[in-house]
Amino acid sequence: MSVETSPEPGSPHARFGAEMRRLREAAQLSQTAVASRLGCTQTQVSRLESATRTPSRSDAERLDLLFGSNGSTHFTDLRRHIVARPSGPAWFIGWAEEVEPAALVLRSWDPLLVPGLLQTESYARHLFTHGPRATPDEVEERVQARMRRQRILDKDDPPMLLVLIDEGVLHRRVNGPEVMREQLGHLLEVAQRPNISIQVVDPECMAGLAGAFMIAELSNGQPETIHMDSPAQGHVTTDHDLVISIRNRYEAIRLWAYPERVSIKMVEEVRREWT
């Protein structure tokens, strides 16, 4: 059995362990009791929960039988992501494939760009094309992954998406006027959906200068999860103190946001300026 060390927070590996622990504790079962049902040792269960052991197919299937209902394949699906060879960084794949699709509410702040969930294909392609040492194949793969990620907004029960963007994002040239008109037009279009709110933030807001982030509010008592961007690598965590800190920062930024009606008019006006 392969053993992993230092799993990245938010990765499928880490989420498998966290879900296993959460459901075991909710069922008031000891690690030893779960081990007897899985046909392994208490130490192996401990390693599964700490994400230092890769689950076998049998582990996942038996956990689905133990904790699932109506033919649930939750753990089997998580294991599939663990053993797959995804092209992107693990921290982000964990977020995009495990957190966002399960979110009831997504709160987003971006001081520099239109957030990925609302980017047009042309806007995203230009960003990826100008990434460090980006090859055409890598660019295309990342663009298509971004477009697939946006499908959560087209589900029958899409999450609420509450977006805050700095006013400068509307004026920041990405490619050319045609791409910017298309992108801002897309913002105006999706803003008509009842589950999407877009607010422009006054550029004098200092609270948002620390960087972009997202907050996912999940169902079934799962802890809120945050995703923070950095130049080198993003960070995904459910750490309570960090979540509270980011929630407080989000509220501080929101105090500088224009009302939705005013924000939409601003987007309309700037779109007309891109000629």
What is the domain-level CATH number for residue 153?
Answer: 3.30.870
Together in a domain, 177 and 264:
yes
Together in a domain, 132 and 243:
yes
Together in a domain, 160 and 262:
yes
Q: Does the residue 24 lie in any domain?
A: yes
Together in a domain, 192 and 58:
no
Burial of 26 (0-12, 13-18, 19+ CB in 10 A): exposed
Together in a domain, 111 and 200:
yes
Q: Does the residue 52 lie in any domain?
A: yes
Number of domains composing the chain: 2
Together in a domain, 36 and 96:
no
Together in a domain, 102 and 225:
yes
Q: Is the pLDDT of residue 11 over 70?
A: no
Q: Give the pLDDT of residue 225.
A: 92
Cα gap 90→78, rounded to integer Å: 13
Query: Checking phi first, is residue 237 left (phi over 0); if not, alpha (psi -120 to 50) or beta?
Result: beta
φ, ψ for residue 202 (rounded to 5)?
Answer: -55, 130
Q: Which of 44, 66, 83 is a domain's end point?
A: 83
Q: Does the residue 2 lie in any domain?
A: no
**What are the tens digits of pLDDT across the range 74-91?**
888 888 766 654 445 555
Q: Does the residue 145 lie in any domain?
A: yes
Q: Which of 56, 83, 110 is a domain's end point?
A: 83
Strand ranges across the sheet with 213-218: 196-201, 160-166, 103-110, 213-218, 225-228, 235-237
Together in a domain, 75 and 96:
no
φ, ψ for residue 141 (rounded to 5)?
Answer: -65, -40
Range of the domain at 237: 91-273
Q: Using alpha carbons only, how large is the chain's radius of gyration in Å?
A: 21
Structure tokens at 80: 């599939």
State the pLDDT confidence band at 256, using cuts at 50, 70 and 90: very high
State the pLDDT confidence band at 1, using cuts at 50, 70 and 90: very low
Residue position matching structure tokens 């971006």: 110
Together in a domain, 154 and 208:
yes
Q: Give the pLDDT of residue 84.
A: 52
Mean pLDDT is highest, among 57-61, 135-139, 181-185, 209-213, for 181-185
Q: Does the residue 95 lie in any domain?
A: yes
Structure tokens at 227: 């995703």
Structure tokens at 151: 């499908």
**What are the tens digits of pLDDT across the range 242-254?**
999 999 999 999 9
Together in a domain, 131 and 177:
yes
Closest CA to 161 of 135, 188, 117, 196: 196
Q: Does the residue 5 lie in any domain?
A: no
Q: Does the residue 170 lie in any domain?
A: yes
Average pLDDT, the chain: 88
**What pTM value is reported for the model?**
0.69
Q: Which of 83, 103, 134 is a domain's end point?
A: 83
State the pLDDT confidence band at 103, using cuts at 50, 70 and 90: very high
Q: Does the residue 149 lie in any domain?
A: yes
Together in a domain, 152 and 198:
yes
Cα gap 248→121, rounded to integer Å: 32
Structure tokens at 48: 């599964």
φ, ψ for residue 108 (rounded to 5)?
Answer: -130, 140
Half-sphere exposure of 128 (CA within 13 A, CB side): 22
Q: Is the pLDDT of residue 109 over 50?
A: yes
Helices (runs of H) and strands (runs of E) counted in the chain:
12, 6
DSSP H/E element including 37: helix 31-38
Together in a domain, 49 and 162:
no
